[in-house]
Amino acid sequence: MDYPGYTKVSQFIDQVEIEVRSGDGGHGTVNWRREKYEPMGGPAGGNGGRGGSVYFLATKDLNTLVDFRFNRTFEADHGDKGGSKNRHGKAGKDLIIKVPIGTCIRDLSTQKIVADLTQDGQKVLIAEGGIGGKGNTELATATKRAPHYCEPGQPGIQRTLQLTLKLLADVGIVGLPNAGKSTLLAAVTRARPKIADYPFSTLEPNLGVVKLQNGDGFVLADVPGLIEGASEGIGLGHKFLQHLERTRLLIHMADITSETLHDDLVTIARELRLYSDLFANLPTVIALNKSELIDPQEAQQIKQDVLAFINGQDIFDLAEKNKRIKLPEIVYVISAGSRVNLEELISTCGHAISQIKALEAEAPDVPLEKDEAAYYHGESTYEIYRKKDVFYVEGDRPDRWVQVTDIKDPESLFALFQRLRNLGVIDDLISRGIELGQEVVVGGVMFTFGEDMT
C-alpha cells in the first residue's frame, strides 16, 4: 500500500516567545492657510495617519513555529504625521504574522489565552495601531476657530506573547501496551516510532501525517500504552492524554489474539472516560490487530463477538459517540505488521475526519472573551519625581503633548498647560511643594514653573 507525500512530524509541541508592537498614530499638525492677500488664514493642519495594526493569520502552508526562533520582534509601521494644507498623514502598513493552524496565543503579562487559531484563514487582531492625532483644522470649533494646538497620535501597543503549536492530531490510537499502535503508525505514515515486544516501548507520543489518495490528509498520533489506572496517573498514559485534547477520532486498538480481549477493550474505555468526558464522547472505531496470527474465519467470529459485546455495554456507547458521522463499519480486523486491511481502516478515518471538519466549519465559533489588551485604553498615569531642585513629570500623555507643542507659540503653550492642568499634573506639582520660578521637566523639555502654568 502506498500513501504518497508522507510528512514526518518531528516536533509534537513547539513553543516560542515573541514581542509584537503596533505602529504609533502620527501626530496631528498645526498649520495655517497661506493665501496671496491673507498671510495667515484659517487653520490648515492635517490629521496624523493611523499606525499599522498587528494580526495573526492561521495558514495551512506552515507546519511549525521554527521561523520564529530567529525572528522574535514584530513591529507594524507608524502612521505619518499630518501635513500642511490639510493633508492627512499616511497610515502605517498593517503587519500580518502567519502561523500554522493549531497555534495558541497567550499574553505573558496576564497569562491569558487570547486566541486559539484552529482554522485555515482565521485572523485575529492582536495589537491595534494607534489612531492618528487631529490637526488644528479638525479641532477648530465655532468658539475656537483657529486653535494653536493639535493632538498627538496614540501610541502603538506592545505585547509579549507566547505561541504554542499544539499539533492537531486528528486521530489518536489508544490501546493497551503491545497492541501494535506504533506498528500501525509506522505502516501508514513516515513516522518511525520505536516498536518493541515489551510494554511501554513508546515513551512519548509520535505523530505522522497520513495522506490519502484523494489528496486529503490527517494527522495520526500514537499514544503510549494506556493501562488500568492511567487516568489516575499510573503508567505513562495520563501524561499524554492531555496532548490528545484536539483529537477528533479515536482508533481503539486491541490484540485479537488476547485471551482477555473483551476486558482489554473495557479497560481502555473506562480509562478514557475517567480521564475526561472529552474522550468518552469522541467518535471511535475499534481495530482488532495481529489478525494474521489466526484463521480468517476465526477472526470474523471474534469480530462478531466483539460487536455483540460492545452493543451490550454502556461503557462503549459507540452508536451515541458516532452519531454525527456515517461510518461503513465500527470494528476492523487488521494486521498492522502484515499490512492487511489498513487501507480500509485509514480511508474510514479520513472520511470521518472530513465529515467532522465539515460539521465544525458550520458550527459558530465560541467567541473568546474580548482581548482588551489589543486596544489602546488611554494611558493617563504619570509619575512625578524630584532631583535636587528640579521636578520631573513622566507619562505617556504629557510626553506626547509636549511633542506636539510649539513652545515658541504662546497659544500652543497655553494649550499644553491646560492639558496638564486637566490631567491633574499641576495640582500634584503644587502639593509636592513646587514654587514659582522652579524648574520642571515635562516630556524631556524644561519649563520654568510660572503663573501661566497654574
Ligand X SMILES: Nc1nc2c(ncn2[C@@H]2O[C@H](COP(=O)(O)OP(=O)(O)OP(=O)(O)O)[C@@H](O)[C@H]2O)c(=O)[nH]1
Least separation in angstroms between CB 172 and ligand X: 12
Select 207 or 404, whichever has its Cβ closest to Mg ion.
207
Residue span binding Mg ion (CB under 5 A) among the ranges 136-144, 195-203, 302-310, 374-382: 195-203
Q: Is 131 or 333 the residue whose CB approaches ligand X more closely?
A: 333
Closest contact distance (angstroms) between CB of 262 and ligand X is 18
Task: Tell me how far, at minimum, the Cβ of 234 lies from ligand X, in Å.
Answer: 14
Compute the least distance from the CB of residue 344 to Mg ion, in Å.
22
Min separation Cβ 188 and ligand X, Å: 12
Of Mg ion, ligand X, none, which one does residue 336 interact with (CB within 5 to 8 Å by kind)? ligand X
Q: Which does 178 bind (CB under 5 to 8 A by kind): ligand X, Mg ion, none?
A: ligand X
C-alpha to C-alpha distance for 308 and 286, rounded to whole angstroms:
13
Which residues are 445's β-sheet partners? Answer: 442
Q: Nearest CA to 252 among 235, 271, 234?
A: 271
How many residues form the binding site for Mg ion (CB under 5 A)? 3
Nearest distance, CB of residue 177 and ligand X, angstroms: 4
**Minimal distance in Å, beta carbon 210 to ligand X?**
16
Q: For residue 432, with 0-12 CB atoms within 10 Å meaning exposed, 13-18 middle and 19 or more buried, which class applies?
A: exposed
Q: Which residue is nearest to Mg ion (CB)?
A: 202
**Residue with Cβ nearer ligand X (258 or 348):** 258
Nearer to Mg ion among residue 184 and residue 420 (C-beta): 184
* Cβ neighbours of residue 126 closer than 8 Å, sequence gap 6 or more: 20, 54, 55, 56, 105, 114, 115, 159, 161, 371, 374
**Of Mg ion, ligand X, none, which one does residue 293 interact with (CB within 5 to 8 Å by kind)?**
ligand X
Contacts of 118 (CB under 8 A, 6+ apart): 58, 101, 102, 168, 246
Question: Which parts of this chain interact with ligand X (CB under 6 A)?
Answer: 175, 177-183, 195-197, 199-202, 224-225, 289-290, 292-293, 335-338
The secondary structure of 19-45 as a DSSP string is EEEPPPPPPP---B--BTTBSS-SB-P
For 249, the enclosing helix (H) or strand (E) is strand 249-255
Beta pairing class for 249-255 and 54-59: unpaired
Residue 152 binds which of ligand X, Mg ion, none (CB < 5-8 A, kind-dependent): none
DSSP string, 63-119: --SGGGGT--EEEPPPPPPP-STTPPPPPPPPEEEEEETTEEEEETTTTEEEEEE-S
| 127 vs 336 by CB, closer to Mg ion | 336
What's the full length of the chain, in residues?
454
Q: Which partner, ligand X, Mg ion, none, binds residue 283 by CB below 5 to 8 Å per kind? A: none
Q: Select from ligand X, Mg ion, none the partner in contact with residue 180, using the beta carbon and a kind-dependent cut-off of 5 to 8 Å.
A: ligand X
- Main-chain dihedrals φ then ψ at residue 374, nearest 5 degrees: -80, -10
> How far apart are alpha carbons 122 and 361 in whole angstroms?
12
Residues 125-184 close enough to bind Mg ion by CB under 5 A: 181-182
Cα–Cα distance for residue pair 200/194, rounded to 1 Å = 10
Closest CA to 428 of 394, 404, 402: 394
- The CA–CA distances, whole Å, from 53 to 21, 162, 256, 364 equal 8, 18, 57, 26
28 in Cβ contact with 46 (< 8 Å): yes
Interacting partner of 200 out of ligand X, Mg ion, none (Cβ under 5 to 8 A depending on kind): ligand X
**Partner from ligand X, Mg ion, none contacting 52, C-beta within 5 to 8 A by type:** none
Instruction: Give the nearer residue to ligand X in terms of CB position, either 45 or 225.
Output: 225
- Residue 23 contact, options Mg ion, ligand X, none, Cβ 5-8 Å cut-off depending on partner type: none
Which is nearer to Mg ion, 181 or 397 (by Cβ)?
181
Please, which residue, 242 or 281, has the CB nearer to Mg ion?
Answer: 242
Q: Which is nearer to Mg ion, 29 or 182 (CB)?
A: 182
Chosen from Mg ion, ligand X, none, partner binding at 179 (C-beta under 5 to 8 Å by type): ligand X
Check: CB of residue 3 under 8 Å from CB of residue 188: yes
Residues numbered 196-235 forming contacts with Mg ion, rule: CB under 5 A: 202
Q: Which is nearer to ligand X, 47 or 289 (CB)?
A: 289
Rounded Cα gap, residues 81 and 91, in angstroms? 9
Binding site for Mg ion (CB under 5 A): 181-182, 202
